[in-house]
Amino acid sequence: MGTSAIETERKFEAPGPGAVPDVTAVRGVDSVRPGEAEDLDATYYDTGDLRLLAHGVTLRRRTGGHDAGWHLKLPVGKDSRREVRLPLDAGPPREVPDELGRLVAGLARGGPLAPVAHLRTHRVRRLLYDDTGAVVAELAEDRVTAQTLGGAGGESGVTEVMSWQEIEVELVEGRKSLLNALTEKLTAAGAKPAGDGSKLARVLGGSLGAEAPGTRAGSAGEAVLRRLTGLRDTMLRWDPAVRRDEPDSVHKMRVATRRLRSALKSYRKVLDRRRTDPVEAELKWLAGELGRARDAEVLGERLTERTDRLPPELVLGPVRATLAEWSADTYRAAHAEAVAALSGRRYFALLRALDALLTDPPLRPAADRKAAKVLAATARREHRRVTERLDTAVELTPGPERDAALHAARKAAKRARYAGETARATLGRRAERFTRRMKETQERLGVHQDAVVTRQALRGLAIRAHEAGENGFTYGLLHGAQTATARDVEGELPALRRRVAQARKRLG
């Protein structure tokens, strides 16, 4: 597997050759040691319609310099990207290594990757040291010549050549405050922040087609499509991280998937459900595939944490070892199934259908109404669903039927919360307060559902322990604690119902 690291950098347009000022006066820089000049030769890969670049991702094979190899750069935040590196011999020179190809398969919608640009860079590196001798940053002055390759956002075989000069500052061991200080120094010397996040974006960014359709500003259609596009992009941002099994990535991708699905269900008066229902159904499938891995991860952590709370004399038998093995095995199998789903035709078809929905949306007449009215009405409608389901649960006696009713109320509260999030940019504080109350409701009901699920798992573990001739006392003790937790939540239902009723007033 390739190496991975987070890089934090900024690019600047250089006013001319030799434009890099003396930075030793910058706080945190004690000395500057010029490195040797490097000549870099890079070929960038993408789909024919530049799907990777559209998501801020670059994939290249670069020779020359101190870090020659295959580089995949994935955005992780402002100024920062995760760079996954493989050596030059990771595969045939003109073919993307399988490991990197799998990581971007979702971003590419399962399509083939081919060369889209060729860049040659003459670089002069300067290493910046602090007073302890540590390298805190690297400052590079680049002269770039770029050539587009046939099929990259234009007519096949047509190429374009361009050249420019830029300055790149990358943190090594320095902090963000140093990056800000160097930015101030460079801009004072005449450098301007680059308008593009990468060299490739400067070359091919103009070839990216507009995603958003021409909805009226301030309309419900504009607000809903903006929300859906942002959620689609968030979901895909976490796709490579799930494939790499990075911490919390499955959770983040599943949440984005659920928010997408919820929005399609909530805004059926804005978008024609004949087009959205099939996509919503496939998002439900995807959330389920991701959910098994996430549920296994959370359940293992919860059981381990609950066991660690017990006095040692109450933990009888190899409980901790059993939980660790069971949790790891369950998660490993579920994660493998999730990655397999992300690599299959069904997932790629879902992504293409979602793209088509956003570029050619099936707008209904309500899409042209003012966003504030439609979004507020939707939030109120979702709120009614929460109150109705809570009312049903309150009337039931404790048991499986009430457990199911409370789970349904929790899902309704989550959907209402997501509707509030969509309305936040339009309704402001009214939507924020509503969203906060719905989140509180969802989380409290979530405690109940977690207890129900955990009890089921503990029963299975107790049976397994019994069959192995082990003592099941500790599992029974944990089971009883989860039952008590569920009852505590059920005792709060009347007060919770009153707080939910008050949330309606927050929308006005």
Question: The domain that contains 441 carries what CATH number?
Answer: 1.40.20.10
**One domain, residues 302 and 450:** yes
Q: Residues 193, 252: one domain?
A: no
Contact between 252 and 12 under an 8 Å Cβ cutoff? The reply is no
Asked whether residue 111 is assigned to any structural domain, the reply reads yes
- Please check whether residues 356 and 467 belong to one and the same domain: yes
Tell me the per-residue pLDDT of 184-204, one tens digit each, with 9 for 90 and over. Answer: 999 999 999 988 778 898 898
Q: How many CA atoms lie within 13 A of 439 on its CB side?
A: 9
Each residue's pLDDT tens digit, 278-326? 999 999 999 999 999 989 888 988 999 999 999 999 999 999 999 999 9
The candidate with the shortest Cα–Cα distance to 403, out of 454, 331, 364, is 454
Do 367 and 458 belong to one domain? yes
Q: Are residues 412 and 271 in the same domain?
A: yes
Across the range 156-181, mean pLDDT stands at 87
Dihedral sign (CA 218, 220, 221, 225): positive
Interaxial angle between packed helices 493-506 and 429-467, expressed in degrees from 0 to 180 and rounded to the nearest 10: 150
Contact 311, 349 (CB under 8 A): no
Domain check: are 172 and 264 in the same one?
no
Report pLDDT for 437: 94
23 plus 171 within the same structural domain: yes
Residue 303 lies in a domain: yes
Q: Which residue, 176, 205, 234, sits at the end of a domain? A: 205
How far apart are alpha carbons 317 and 474 in whole angstroms?
8
Give domain status of residue 91, yes or no. Answer: yes
Instruction: Check residue 344 and give its pLDDT.
Output: 95
Backbone angles phi, psi at 347, to 5 degrees: -65, -45
Q: Any idea which of 107-121, 141-155, 215-229, 408-422 has the lowest mean pLDDT?
A: 141-155
Which tokens is 341 given? 């789903």
Number of domains in the chain: 2
The 10 Å Cβ neighbour count of residue 176 is 12
Q: Is 424 exposed, middle or buried (0-12, 13-18, 19+ CB in 10 A)?
A: middle
pLDDT value for 489: 96
Which is nearest to 381 in space by CA: 434, 419, 430, 433?
Answer: 419
Q: Does residue 132 register a pLDDT over 50?
A: yes
Find the domain containing 319 and state its range.
220-506
Q: Which of 175, 205, 235 is the last residue of a domain?
A: 205
CATH number of domain containing 143 = 2.40.320.10
Are 148 and 232 part of one and the same domain?
no
- Same domain, residue pair 297 and 430: yes
Question: Do 261 and 307 fall into the same domain?
Answer: yes
Mean pLDDT of 52-78: 93
| Within a domain: 161 | yes
Within-domain flag for 172: yes
Extended beta strands in 31-113, E state: 31-46, 58-63, 69-77, 80-86
Residue 245 resides in a domain: yes
Proportion of the chain above pLDDT 90, given as a percent: 81
240 with 156, same domain: the answer is: no
The whole-angstrom separation of Cα 88 and Cα 95 is 11
Of 150, 182, 205, the residue at which a domain comes to its end is 205
**Cβ–Cβ under 8 Å, residues 59 and 96:** yes
Helix-, strand-, coil-residue percentages of the chain, each rounded to 5: 55, 20, 25
Residue 210 is assigned to a structural domain of this protein: no
Together in a domain, 183 and 257: no
**pLDDT, tens digit (0-9, with 9 covering 90-100), for 339-370:** 999 999 999 999 999 999 999 999 999 999 99
Amino acid at residue number 122: H
pLDDT attached to residue 505:
77
Instruction: Calculate the average pLDDT of the chain.
Output: 92
Q: Is residue 99 part of a domain?
A: yes
| Residue % of the chain over a pLDDT of 70 | 96
pLDDT of residue 14: 87
| Cα distance between residue 407 and residue 254, in whole Å | 18
Q: 3-class SS at 25? A: coil
pLDDT at 507: 73
Q: In this model, does residue 154 exceed pLDDT 50?
A: no
pLDDT of 9 strictly over 50? yes
